[in-house]
């Protein structure tokens, strides 16, 4: 089931990205493989890339900020972190950068793929991520917004909880006041599991579970016409 979801996310992502790939300087070749040593948040991980431990921040998506008056934010952040962990921790990934590969804190900003699974999109589709507000046009911005609308409509992930929807607080757009909040430290071996890779796989494939495909009425799955994936 997860493989089928991965293929659909990949196909729609490629279809929507085609116009943005036209300028030669905009698209970049995938980088990696990189080995995920630890998931930090629902939108952040540590990965070993070229012998160096890097902090990787998912590009174009955020962990939803839910400020429940009695539960606080942590239960929701923990659920998103666990969903991300199931997708990528201890696995090989490939990174695709946009115009800027790092943010002001030195983190890599990337679209992340594990096998055929577009992880940024999967987190939003499963209801544990949201499209990042932005003052500029991003390659997958509209796609992520479509996935978020589908997850909310179908009540997947965090959006299954009505109180989560009620106490959800949108994050400010990147580049605006209040958007620069950052608490994560530099990538190191402290504060959680850190794994070392044994060998680089020839072709990483996704494993583990995940929510099933949404019903045909969901806007998350509008089949792209004339789209094929080449390997």
Among 1, 16, 2, 26, CA closest to 115: 2
CB 150 within 8 A of CB 214: yes
pLDDT tens digits, 87-137 = 999 999 999 998 778 888 899 999 999 998 999 999 999 999 999 987 565
Q: Could you list the mean pLDDT of each consecutive 10-residue stretch along the chain, which spans 231 residues?
A: 54 41 51 94 95 95 88 88 96 91 90 94 95 75 93 93 84 53 48 47 36 42 32 30
User: CA 116 to CA 22: how far, in whole Å?
Assistant: 23
This prediction's pTM: 0.69
Residue 90: predicted pLDDT: 96
pLDDT at site 121? 95
Q: What is the CATH number of domain 2-20+28-181?
A: 2.40.50.90
* pLDDT at residue 136, rounded to an integer: 60
Would you call 220 helix, strand, or coil by DSSP?
A: helix
User: Largest Cα–Cα distance of the chain, in whole Å?
Assistant: 50
CA distance 87 to 94: 13
3-state secondary structure of 104: coil
Helices (H), 51-200: 74-88, 119-125, 141-154, 162-166
What is the predicted pLDDT for the residue at 46? Answer: 97
Q: What per-residue string of b and e applies to 181-217 under the rule 16 or more CB within 10 Å gives b?
A: eeeeeebeeeeeeeeebeeeeeebebeeebbeebeee
The predicted structure's pLDDT at residue 169? 82
pLDDT in the model for residue 123? 96
Distance of CA 73 to the CA centre of its chain: 19
CB 122 within 8 A of CB 195: no
């Amino acid at each position: 089931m997860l493989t089928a979801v991965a293929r659909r996310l990949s196909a729609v992502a490629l279809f929507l990205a085609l116009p943005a790939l036209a300028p030669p300087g905009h698209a970049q070749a995938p980088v990696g493989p990189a080995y995920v040593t630890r998931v930090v948040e629902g939108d952040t991980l540590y990965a070993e890339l070229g012998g160096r431990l890097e902090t990787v921040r998912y590009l174009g998506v955020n962990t939803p900020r839910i400020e429940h008056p009695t539960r606080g934010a942590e239960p929701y952040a923990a659920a998103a972190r666990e969903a991300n962990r199931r997708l990528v921790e201890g696995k090989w990934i490939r990174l695709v950068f946009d115009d800027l590969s790092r943010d002001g804190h030195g983190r890599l900003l990337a679209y992340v793929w594990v096998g055929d699974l577009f992880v940024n999109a999967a987190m939003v589709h499963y209801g544990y991520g949201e499209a990042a507000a932005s003052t500029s046009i991003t390659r997958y911005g509209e796609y992520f917004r479509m996935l978020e609308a589908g997850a909310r409509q179908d009540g997947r992930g965090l959006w299954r909880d009505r109180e989560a929807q009620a106490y959800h607080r949108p994050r400010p757009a990147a580049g605006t006041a209040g958007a620069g909040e950052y608490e994560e430290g530099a990538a190191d071996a402290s504060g959680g599991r850190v794994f070392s890779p044994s060998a680089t796989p020839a072709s990483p494939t996704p494993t583990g579970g995940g929510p099933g495909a949404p019903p045909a009425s969901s806007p998350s799955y509008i089949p792209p016409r004339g789209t094929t994936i080449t390997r």
